[in-house]
Amino acid sequence: MPRPRRACDACFKRKIQCDAAETGSRCDWCRHHGIPCTFVRRTSRPQHAPPPTATATVSSSSSSSSSSSSTSGPDRCRLRVAAAALGQIYISGHNLGSFCSRSGIPYFTPEGERCIYANTGRWPCLRRDAGRRNAPTRLLLPIRGPGLDLPDKAAVRELLATYLASDFRLVFPLVDGVLFEQTIEMAYGPANVDGRRSARACVFAFVSIVSSRFLGADVQLVVVDGHACAAEAQALLGDMLEDANMTTVQTLLILLTHETFCGRLQAASMYHAVACRALFNLDAHVLVSDERWDDALSLPDRKRRHLRILFWFSYVFDKDVALCTGRPPVIDDDFCDLTLPAWCDDGRWFAATTEEEEEEEEAAAAAAAAAAASRRQQQPQQQHPPPPWFPGDLRLSVLKSQACRHLYSAASLQQPDAELLRAIRELDEALERWRLTLPPTFSPSLAPARHHQHQQQQQQQQHHHQQQQQTQRRATGRTTPLDTSRSMLHMELHLHYYYLVNVIHAAAGRCTAVADDDSAAGGLRTSLELSVEASRSTLQYLRQAAHRLISEGFWIFIFYPMSALVTLFFNVLRDPTDAQAWSDVDLLSSASDVIKTMPVGGITARELAYLTDVDDFVAELGRLARCALSYSSGYDYE
């Protein structure tokens, strides 16, 4: 027989003494208040706390502050570390989504979807797996052991000569002409020579990335399967990882570049991690010298200089991928000597040339290309190609690293809002100092100088089309080294700058504005405005310049417009009555056409499916943004 309850429901709820068990009827309290004396309550059991509800709007900073304060300290820290890492969409103190590290396509959390519904009256219709299902994967190549024949030796040398004379080498300084000649000799030498296996792997890797770019236009060679060459280089790498040498590092970084060109950033990151370890073993992270680029170097000095170049190439990739994918960087700045090369700015900033001078340079470049075959037998020591530029700017890469460490490391996620805002302000000031060191032609800026910037870009675009119509060589996208490299440098600096401004100030989304702290609220507003303006500038710039990007950079550059789209979208949701809201929606809706103009190397079914996903995502953001504008006005957009 169940034991009778000691107190009725009413007395139990009020924690008062109940005499119902003694009277056998209603207790004294229930009788005096005229309510039934019941015993129907359920046995209390531990209950899980209900999930937190989303804020009604993305602008309710005060409500998010109160909800955050109700969370215990340790629990709140765990939530911040889990939800506010790189690659997350964090607005007004709430984690609303995340960027797919493989494709850059965002997806929203359930809280983000509820927030969108609260501001638009519509639920988002987005595939949760859109960013993953068409993410680049490794091609299914036939299973084979090492044994693929190397291409003709003379053809490889011709590829090397063309590579060294190209603007492609300026951005991807993966091999040194003198040292790679030795690698070629070893790869085609006797089978019993030590190092032949690693040399063959390096040659296969080199052919995999340069053959698709230079074959046909500059070098006549039998058809080469770049993917098969990359697979052969990977197979040959198996027994080489124990022996860290420069040839192995070159092979790893060339394969990294090949995987990046193919859009397989996960595989590229794995090659990068191994290459960094090998560079550390070779002390490349602390090798510093003050020689100038044209100084005569001994063979050991040349090897040391090239190792340092490979380190800086890895450093740039490390910080770019960390910001794009949200993965922690591999290289720790505190263990590296980051003294910049004395020649890092040599030849980067060219004065503008007249049309006659450009024609003379084009004729000289054509003559040089025609003589490339006869020069390939010469010793590369007699050639002095210009120093490399690397992707973007080395100083800017150092600032990217500081942004990762000060704004998105596990330690930084636990700092008070005031310290976070101070770190944002200091990084913004450092970024502005960097911007002011650039020549005016290359110095990026936000909206105030945008119209002048676009006028320059339109002139460059018209000149580019005129060049394309002149010769078949330029129809393949290769103009003179001066034109192509200078144009690409201009685009890289602008896109990297806008993206970093967005990344720095988007970190303020983790803060919750305190009502009685005007300085904190003002700092949040400023960061929000700068993040939005950088996003506008990204899409405006790509409208004019997207078609001139190199196809090899598509899978890195694609993260920039996707990030800008999300920032603009949530800004429309935050303040649909803003004067620029409608223009932002138009800019957002046109982003699909902008992305379609970005060159992609080798359109396959996978690229087409990916672009379809991007179209669907942009169209849905445009629909929801218009719904937000109409919803705030009191009428139904649909």
- Reference 316, options 172, 168, 444, 486; nearest CA is 172
pLDDT at 481: 40
Which tokens hold the place of 98? 């995340």
3-state helix, strand and coil shares in percent for the chain, rounded to the nearest 5: 60, 0, 35
Strand partners, 108: 97
- Please give the DSSP secondary-structure letter assigned to residue 295: S
Four-CA torsion 324, 330, 334, 340, nearest 10 degrees: -70
Q: Would you say 171 and 485 are in contact if contact means Cβ atoms under 8 Å apart?
A: yes
pLDDT at 51: 38
Q: Would you say 533 and 353 are in contact if contact means Cβ atoms under 8 Å apart?
A: no
Contacts (Cβ under 8 Å, ≥6 apart) of 68: 76, 93, 512
pLDDT tens digits for range 499-546: 999 999 999 988 875 544 566 677 788 898 999 999 999 999 999 888
At residue 331's C-alpha, the angle toward residues 138 and 423, to 5°, is 115
Which tokens hold the place of 456? 């320059």
Q: Would you say 566 and 509 are in contact if contact means Cβ atoms under 8 Å apart?
A: no
CATH code for the domain of 5: 4.10.240
Claim to verify: residue 178 and residue 36 sit in the same structural domain: no
pLDDT tens digits for range 288-310: 887 888 888 889 999 999 999 99
| Spatial distance between the Cα atoms of 387 and 309, rounded to a whole number of angstroms | 10
Whether 114 is covered by a domain: the verdict is: no
What is the sign, positive or negative, of the torsion defined by CA atoms of 67, 69, 72, 75? Answer: positive
pLDDT at 475: 34
Contacts (Cβ under 8 Å, ≥6 apart) of 450: 537, 540
Whether 137 is covered by a domain: the verdict is: no
Strand partners, 90: 95
Sheet holding 94-99, edge to edge: 88-91, 94-99, 106-108
What is the sign, positive or negative, of the torsion defined by CA atoms of 308, 313, 315, 318? Answer: negative
Helical (H) or strand (E) element with 536: helix 518-545
Which tokens hold the place of 475? 């129809």
pLDDT at 484: 65
| Spatial distance between the Cα atoms of 279 and 311, rounded to a whole number of angstroms | 7
Instruction: Kindly report the backbone phi and psi dihedral angles of residue 125, in degrees, each rounded to the nearest multiple of 5, phi listed first.
Output: -110, 80
| Spatial distance between the Cα atoms of 350 and 433, rounded to a whole number of angstroms | 21
Q: How many domains does the chain have?
A: 2
Whether 226 is covered by a domain: the verdict is: yes
pLDDT tens digits for range 327-360: 899 999 999 999 999 888 877 776 444 444 445 5
Whether 30 is covered by a domain: the verdict is: yes
Residue 99 region by backbone torsions, left for phi larger than 0, else alpha for psi between -120 and 50, else beta? beta
Instruction: Kindly report the backbone phi and psi dihedral angles of residue 328, in degrees, each rounded to the nearest multiple of 5, phi listed first.
Output: -60, 145
Q: What is the CA radius of gyration of the chain?
A: 30
Whether 267 is covered by a domain: the verdict is: yes
Whether 1 is covered by a domain: the verdict is: yes
Q: Would you say 427 and 513 are in contact if contact means Cβ atoms under 8 Å apart?
A: no
DSSP H helical ranges for 123-225: 130-133, 153-164, 168-171, 177-187, 196-214
pLDDT at 552: 81
| Spatial distance between the Cα atoms of 118 and 83, rounded to a whole number of angstroms | 21
Flag residues of the chain having pLDDT under 50.
1-3, 43-56, 60-84, 138-143, 145-146, 351-358, 361, 368, 372-382, 448-482, 515-516
Claim to verify: residue 393 and residue 265 sit in the same structural domain: yes
Claim to verify: residue 158 and residue 39 sit in the same structural domain: no
pTM above 0.75, yes or no: yes
| Spatial distance between the Cα atoms of 241 and 136, rounded to a whole number of angstroms | 26
Fill in the amino acid letter for 306. Answer: H
Claim to verify: residue 43 and residue 168 sit in the same structural domain: no
Claim to verify: residue 38 and residue 160 sit in the same structural domain: no
| Spatial distance between the Cα atoms of 564 and 127, rounded to a whole number of angstroms | 20
Whether 42 is covered by a domain: the verdict is: yes
Structural domain boundaries, residue 14: 1-47
CA atoms within 13 A on the CB side of 545: 27
Whether 251 is covered by a domain: the verdict is: yes
Question: Which residue, chain included where needed, has tokens 């957009």?
Answer: 637
Question: 63: buried, middle or exposed (CB in 10 Å: 19+, 13-18, 0-12)?
Answer: middle
Claim to verify: residue 38 and residue 175 sit in the same structural domain: no
